[in-house]
Amino acid sequence: MKARTALLACGLLLGACSALQGPQPVVGAQAPDFTLPGLDGEPVRLSELRGQRVLLNFWATWCGPCRQEMPAIQARYNHGDFAVLAVDFGETRAQVQNFIDEIGVDLPIVLDADGSVQELYRVRGYPTTFFIDAQGVIRFFHIGEMSTEDIDNYLKQMEP
């Protein structure tokens, strides 16, 4: 009976893994490109930010740590010298707009309604942030809430 259960578990795990398409994003690899609608409905493509350092943040309005770190991202973003792309998962434009109005941020936000970009980046917890250099290569990723100091530290390590 234990062997049957173990085989079933392995089969389910392999099936789940095979559902994910494309290479897993890893440090040192090119960041997978994608296009998603912004809050204004206009398409935003990650590769259009090439030439800048990019903080790619995966988040959701119901995520407490996301709520806590958004002001830190905004504070550092206000200093310029890098781009931000905040990818919200599975929520409506109205939900996201209400959230950002409530906490007072104006970061560039895109909507991943079907979770396809979340799957592309293998996001399994919120917040998850990738730091991408000006050539489009992933240099760092951070799972969990970041402080302004964390953000500064990652960006400093990516300076030319």
Contact (CB, 8 A) for 105 and 70: yes
Helix boundaries (H) for the chain: 2-18, 64-77, 93-103, 116-120, 148-157
Q: What is the pTM of this model?
A: 0.85
> Would the pLDDT of 121 be above 90?
yes
- Residues 158 and 142 sit within 8 Å (Cβ to Cβ): no
1 has pLDDT over 50: no
Question: Which position has the token pair 């062997």?
Answer: 3
pLDDT digits (tens, 9 = 90+) for 84-101: 999 999 999 999 999 999
Reading the block at residue 88, the tokens are 């919200």
Residue recorded with tokens 């293998």: 122
- The Cα 130–Cα 56 span in angstroms is 5
**Residue scoring higher pLDDT (2 or 68):** 68
Per cent of the chain over pLDDT 90 is: 82
Here the tokens at position 131 are 């730091």
pLDDT digits (tens, 9 = 90+) for 16-46: 433 445 667 899 999 999 999 999 999 999 9
**Fold that domain 24-157 belongs to in CATH:** Glutaredoxin (3.40.30)
- Please give the residue that has the higher pLDDT: either 15 or 116: 116
Mean pLDDT of the chain: 88
Dist. CA 21–CA 8, nearest whole Å = 22
Domain segments of the chain: what residues? 24-157
How sure is the predictor about 132, in pLDDT bands with cuts at 50, 70 and 90?
very high
Structural tokens at position 139:
């240099």
3-state SS assignment for residue 57: strand
